[in-house]
Structure formats: structure tokens, C-alpha cells
Amino acid sequence: MSSAVQHIAILGATGSIGQSSLDVIKNFPDRFRVTYLTANKNIDLLQRQINEFKPKGVVVGDERNASVIRRFVNGSVEVLSGEEGLEEIVTRDDVDTVISSLVGFAGLKPTISAIRHRKQVALANKETLVAAGELITGLVKEYGVRLIPIDSEHSAILQCLLGEDPLRIAKLILTASGGPFLHTPREAFSSITVEQALAHPNWNMGKKITVDSATLMNKGLEVIEAHWLFGLPANRIDVVIHPQSVIHSMVEFVDGSIKAQLGLPDMKIPIQYALTYPDRSPMNGARVSFPKLQSMTFFEPDKEKFPCLPLAYHALALGGTAPAALNAANETAVSAFLERKISFDRIPEILEGALNHHRVRPSPEIQHIIEADEQARAFTRTLV
């Protein structure tokens, strides 16, 4: 282990993962130093983060907010804006690790830029791997960088695989809480409100991912993410509903042994693990109490009630640009639901329409992925 300070850029610092990352970082002032923070619009929180963490530079969504921040820092911090700003700061010499926690497709280009500049990437932005898994994993190999998942399921699998021969894996078992509508009858899905969809039983997360958890699309995206991270085909990646969210995922090996990673549902655990990997560091806080927990339950996901999950498997089977199109359609449909333009049960319908409409291009380059993303968004808007 090197004792050098790890310099960290956080993309999406004011989001849920960004804030939890800063909570982790501030416990280890000798080990981690935040050099860059980025925020889209939440500049009040960004200003507080600048005061507390004293980064060298920040990036905000647009020039208007950039001028507000420039006045605030009065020359003491570099201020950039937009997509170019994001792609620029991840190339800097005073960045060792990039925490990629932007929401959605916006995370793709800066993540690619970070990999090309040989930065370690701690990835919370699952849409990047969903849309461009083949491209990203190819670049990771080419540039010899480490891509460590922050998503709790993939962090669990990574932990289960330590010391194991990848050839001895039988299958991956992703756990899903089932979201707030696990026991809601299908007939009631059309009247689900935004507030109900945003009330997740176990995890406290951003809006987009919380709606994805309610439709089970989040689990579908995670199946695709797992495929690219761990190199297993879709038929060896299972999903099981586990409402207590204590087992974060499991790996079954060829001898029938199963390893699981457990813990309370707190994103600070996988974030800290990604930053200290393969080492561990102490963390204060509550612990799992088995007597208090008493039981853990498991059952099959209901694919009729949650068609987003089989749609994700279908997109993965189609390959090429299909997952990028599905992801773009999903981002558009979820936004429309949050803006109360469509009902909850129309999300999977719209995704299916968009996926059927998409013409798949195999082994896509970045420009094909961007094209697929734009076309799927435009088509989805016509369905909305």
C-alpha cells in the first residue's frame, strides 16, 4: 500500500452519492484530498462544499452559474462550466481517482476522458456501462486502469470474487429490494403518484434511481452493468427479490458454494471500499444485528408486473446499441413521469416501443452510441 495521498475529483458532488463520498473522504484527511468538485445546478450546496473541502477547481452546469461561483470564490478556485469542463478536469495531474456519480448518459464522456488519462475510476454512474459497456471495458483494458464499481450490488460481487478464479464462477445473483410497489396489485399501477414512487423502503437515493428502483429498471440496468464488469453472459446473471436489502449480492461457484456480502443499506460502505480497494478501513456506524433482523426472505421477481426487468435482458441479448437506446428511452420516460406527463405504468410500455423501434448497430463506436441515444430520446418524446 502506498501511503501517498489520493487526489480525488468528484463528478456530481451535490448528488446523493457525491455527498456520501464527501462524508467518507472527510474521515480520512491524511489519505484523501478532494481536488475537484462538480455540480450541475445546486450551487448553494456547492458553495458550502467549496468552503469545507477547499478544492482547486470546480465545474458547474453552465456559464451563468459559473459567474455566480466566480464571484463567490473571488479567484481562489478555478471555475469551469459545461461538458467540456467535466472532460477537462479529469485529465489533470492532480487527480488520481475520479468518482463518477453523474446521473444518466451525461456521465459517459467524462468517464471516457478519465480512462484515457489513466485515472482510476470509482463508478456510480451505471448508465455509462449500460450504454457503452463494450467500449468502456475495451478502453479500461487498453489503458490499464482500474474501474471499481460503487453500486452496492457490484461492490458486493467484487468483494465475493476476491481470491477466486473467474473461471470457477457458476453465476452471479443480484439482490433487489423490490422497491415500494412489490406488493401493490398491477391494477393499481396506473394511479401510482410521483410521491409514492419516490418513497423507497430501504435506500435513500436520487430521484432518477429511485423511480428506476420502483419499476425494477434499476435492477435491469444492473444486470447489464454486471455483464460488462464481470464478463458473464446474461443467462448466468440472476435476480432475486430480497426485501430487507441486507445481502447486497452473491456469487455461486462451480462447486455449489455461494458467497454473499452483507451489510446495512448505506452507500458509504461501497464508496469507501471503492476508494480503499482492495484494502479496508474502519467505518463507524450501525451494524447488522441478526437477532434484530430475525429473518431474511427471497422470491422470484414478478416479470409481468415489472416488465422493465425482462426488457433489460432483451436489450442485452440484442447487444450493440440496444442497451444505449433502452437507457435513453428510460431516462426520457422517467423524466416525463417525474414531470407528471405520463403515468407510472406507461414507463415500460414506452420503453418497449422505443426498443422495438431501434435499429441495432453491433460493436458501436462512441459516435454510434451518441446517435442511438439521441434517436431513442427523440422517438421516446413522440411516445410521451
Question: Can you give the binding site for Mg ion, defined by CB under 5 A?
Answer: 151-153
Residue 126 or 377 with smaller CB distance to Mg ion:
126
DSSP 196: H
CA atoms of 332 and 148, how far apart (whole Å): 27
Residue with smaller CB distance to Mg ion, 198 or 384: 198
For Mg ion, the closer of residues 152 and 276 by Cβ is 152
Please report how close the Cβ of residue 237 comes to Mg ion at its closest, in angstroms: 14
| CA atoms lying within 13 Å on the CB side of residue 27 | 15
**Amino acid letter, residue 379:** F
Cβ 57 to Mg ion shortest distance, Å: 30
Measured CA distances, 101 to 20, 24, 174, 258 (Å): 11, 14, 21, 30
Tell me how far, at minimum, the Cβ of 151 lies from Mg ion, in Å: 4
Side chain identity at 120, as an amino acid letter? Answer: Q
Nearer Cβ to Mg ion (205/383):
205
**Among the listed residues 4, 15, 18, the one whose alpha carbon sits nearest the alpha carbon of residue 98:** 18
**Residue nearer to Mg ion on the CB measure, 151 or 373:** 151
Q: Left, alpha or beta for 66 (phi > 0: left; psi -120 to 50: alpha)?
A: alpha
Task: For residue 287, give the 3-state DSSP assignment.
Answer: coil
How far is the C-alpha of 36 from the C-alpha of 127, rounded, in Å?
A: 22
Cβ distance to Mg ion smaller for residue 87 or 151: 151
CB of 270 to Mg ion, least distance (A): 9
CB of 378 to Mg ion, least distance (A): 29
Residue nearest to Mg ion (CB): 151
Instruction: Output the smallest distance, CB 94 to Mg ion, in A.
Output: 30
CA pair distance 330, 61, nearest whole angstrom: 22
Q: With the C-alpha atoms ordered 237, 243, 249, 252, is the resulting torsion angle positive or negative?
A: negative
Q: DSSP letter at 72?
A: H
Only one residue has cell 460481487, namely: 157
Q: Are 43 and 65 in contact (CB under 8 A)?
A: yes
Residue 154 C-beta: closest distance to Mg ion, Å: 7
Q: Decide whether 109 or 200 has the Cβ nearer to Mg ion.
A: 200
229, 154 in Cβ contact below 8 A? yes
- Choice between 210 and 375, CB closer to Mg ion: 210
Return phi, psi of residue 162, to 5°.
-60, 125
Smallest gap from Cβ 373 to Mg ion, in A, equals 22
CB 115 within 8 A of CB 132: no
